[in-house]
Chain A
Amino acid sequence: QQQVKQSPQSLIVQKGGISIINCAYENTAFDYFPWYQQFPGKGPALLIAIRPDVSEKKEGRFTISFNKSAKQFSLHIMDSQPGDSATYFCAATNTGTASKLTFGTGTRLQVTL
């Protein structure tokens, strides 16, 4: 049972373009939605996270948009750079479960010159 569905599986964006990765969840008890970034040969690292009391969170070129009624959230990378090339995972949890995260299947982003 996949509780967090992520798309697309892979994405190619030109330098300077906007990268958009989408996730949908099923469990309405989820109340914390992080995005993790993983470079080849490394472990994932927290990029940005949002709680459902806001519809958008922005940190630099990275923005999470959250739609509670649709049970969807997305990551937007503005002005995408080659250094953003990585695999991105969305995740979700109910904070009452002591941070046990459910991850999406990942999106491999390649930013070309």
Chain B
Amino acid sequence: DAEITQSPRHKITETGRQVTLACHQTWNHNNMFWYRQDLGHGLRLIHYSYGVQDTNKGEVSDGYSVSRSNTEDLPLTLESAASSQTSVYFCASSAGGSSNEQFFGPGTRLTVL
């Protein structure tokens, strides 16, 4: 069955370190998204991609970067982790076109000490 996976599921890191969160989908979806979820803020869009080599900034993109070298993967990199980036991160994908439904991964809980 097609799915979307994230790794690691839990990560503890130190301030200033570079961290990469992986996202892999097997639906062959063109669109992929990264969100962070924080209490009181809901889901906020970090970066998104509409296809290979395409990346766009969301509303909370500072300190994050993504790259899209193939259809299946959209890794999220925190260049220099900060305590304010402690959060739960969700990756999602959608087919685009007439389908607006986004399929979410299980999330990565990141703690920056």
Q: Is B113 part of the contact surface with A, judged by Cβ < 8 Å? A: no
Set A36, A49, A99, A104: member contacting B94, Cβ < 8 A: A99
Q: Is B31 part of the contact surface with A, judged by Cβ < 8 Å? A: yes
Q: Is B53 part of the contact surface with A, judged by Cβ < 8 Å? A: no
**A99–B99 CA distance with the chains assembled, in angstroms:** 8
Set B35, B42, B102, B103: member contacting A105, Cβ < 8 A: B42
Which among B12-20, B43-51, B64-72 touches the partner chain? B43-51
The answer on a CB contact under 8 Å between B41 and A105 is yes
How many residue pairs, one in A and one in B, have C-beta atoms under 8 Å apart? 56
Q: A43-B105, A98-B31 are in contact. Are A32 and B42 (CB under 8 A)?
A: no
**A106–B40 CA distance with the chains assembled, in angstroms:** 8
Nearest-CB residue, chain B, relative to A94: B100
Total count of chain B residues near the partner, CB < 8 A = 24
The answer on a CB contact under 8 Å between A101 and B106 is no
**A9–B84 CA distance with the chains assembled, in angstroms:** 22
Which residues on the B side are within 8 Å of A44 (C-beta)?
43, 90, 104
Shortest distance between the CB of B52 and any CB in chain A (Å): 15
The answer on a CB contact under 8 Å between A43 and B104 is yes
The answer on a CB contact under 8 Å between B42 and A43 is no
Within 8 A of A (CB), among B49-64: 50
Q: A42-B106, A45-B104, A98-B31 are in contact. Are A103 and B42 (CB under 8 A)?
A: yes
The answer on a CB contact under 8 Å between A49 and B100 is yes
